[in-house]
Amino acid sequence: MLFDLQGKRRRVVQVVYAVLAALFFISFVGFGIGSDVSGGIFDAIGIGGGDSSSSSPQYDEEIDEQEQRLAQDRKDTRALEELTRLHFLAGQSSLEQDQNGQPIVTDDAKVQFDESANAWEKYLKLESKPDPNAAGLAVQSFVFLNDAEGAARTQEIVAEDRPSEGAYSNLAFYLYAAADFDAADAAAAKAVAEADGSQKKAVKRQLDQIAEQARKQQKAIEKAQKSAQKNAPEGQNPLQSPLGGTGGLSPTAPPTSP
């Protein structure tokens, strides 16, 4: 869930339950985001420790160019692919850190990640063989939007193109966060199969722990929803899952239609 730190201009990625927050952290540090990225959290997401590779005005100019191309041809998959990438990079450049070193998603960053996700969804409707590099960036946009289902759908493209322990571990995590447990278990099994012999037990143990915590989390959410529905005043919506639908990383997700 997102909440204000210092007014509407600063928002930090947070999750209502500490368990999922820990799992979210594992996905950054242990597995990387949407690829086999290794290293610390800010190495993975590309903030901190140096200047951005490009300024926002420069991204804006490139984005405008691709939007003009798209205006001329709404089926220009190359323009949509570039918009996926450029909006992600613009969002990444707008990320900040709080006093505890956690990533802060500013309103500007959220807008850019939304645009990246929207461009990606339009691209998928037109492209039968989506680019895995663009998919890796789209996954990260979904992560910062706290959309586990979107991250899982897109991470599957990465994993199928580049099967590895890290790719399938990421996929399993996002599926567990989305409460798609059968698919998550299958992805976890593939992650273990792809792991080096000496690492198989460690990978399985870590994924088993994530699976256990995710199932406990989902049960707690369902219990809270039932309680809220039972006690909610007539005419009011019952408690919504803080993870989005039956599971996920947030109560909202970017639109999936043009």
Kindly report the CATH class assigned to 2-230: mainly alpha
pTM for this predicted structure: 0.74
Q: What is the pLDDT of residue 80?
A: 98
Amino acid letter, residue 54? S
Q: What is the pLDDT of residue 247?
A: 42
Q: Two tokens at 177? A: 């966060």
Percent of the chain with pLDDT over 90: 50
Between residues 171 and 230, the one the model is more confident about:
171
Strand 103-104's sheet: what is its strand order?
Answer: 2-4, 11-13, 103-104, 96-97
* Residue 38: pLDDT over 60: no
Q: What is the pLDDT of residue 99?
A: 84
Q: Two tokens at 38? A: 């290794």
Estimate the crossing angle of helix 77-93 against helix 132-144, to 10 degrees.
40
What residues contact 95, with CB distance under 8 A and at least 6 apart?
45, 47, 103, 104, 105, 106, 109, 144
Range with top average pLDDT, 52-66, 71-85, 214-228: 71-85
Between residues 242 and 90, the one the model is more confident about:
90
* Residue 123: pLDDT over 70: yes
pLDDT band at 133 (very low <50, low <70, confident <90, very high): very high
Give which of 114, 148, 124 is closest to 34, Cα–Cα. 148
* Residue 254: pLDDT over 70: no
Give me the residues paired with residue 4 across strands: 11
Question: How high does pLDDT run on average in the chain?
Answer: 75
